[in-house]
Copies of this chain bind each other. A is one copy, B any other.
Amino acid sequence: MVEALTLHEDPRSGNCFKIKLTAALLGLPLACRAYDIMKGETRTSEFLATVNANGRIPVLQIGEGETARFLPESNAACWYLAHGSALIPADRFAQADMLRWMFFEQYSHEPNVATLRFWLRFVGEANLSEQQRGQIMAKRMAGCAALDLMNRHLADHAFFAGPAVTLADIALFPYTHVAEEGGFGLGDYPNVTAWIARVQALPGFIAMD
**A174–B12 Cα gap in the complex (Å)?**
35
Which of A25-33, A100-108, A176-184 lies at the interface with chain B? Answer: A100-108
Interface membership of A134, Cβ < 8 A = yes
| Contact with A83, one of B96, B134, B135 (Cβ below 8 angstroms) | B96
Copies in the complex: 2
Q: Is the CB of B108 within 8 A of A107?
A: no
User: Which B residues touch A76, using CB under 8 A?
Assistant: 96-97, 99-100, 102-103
Interface membership of A41, Cβ < 8 A = no
Please indicate which of the listed interface residues A107, A138, A152 has the most CB atoms of chain B within 10 Å of its own CB: A107
Q: Is the CB of A111 within 8 A of B107?
A: yes
Rounded to whole Å, the gap between the CB of A7 and the closest CB of chain B is: 14
Which of A67-75, A120-128, A198-206 lies at the interface with chain B? Answer: A67-75
User: Which B residues touch A80, using CB under 8 A?
Assistant: 92-93, 96
Rounded to whole Å, the gap between the CB of A137 and the closest CB of chain B is: 8
Rounded to whole Å, the gap between the CB of A78 and the closest CB of chain B is: 9
- Which positions in A face B, CB cutoff 8 Å? 53-54, 62, 69, 71-77, 79-80, 83, 92-93, 95-97, 99-100, 102-104, 106-108, 110-111, 130-131, 134-135, 138, 149, 152-153
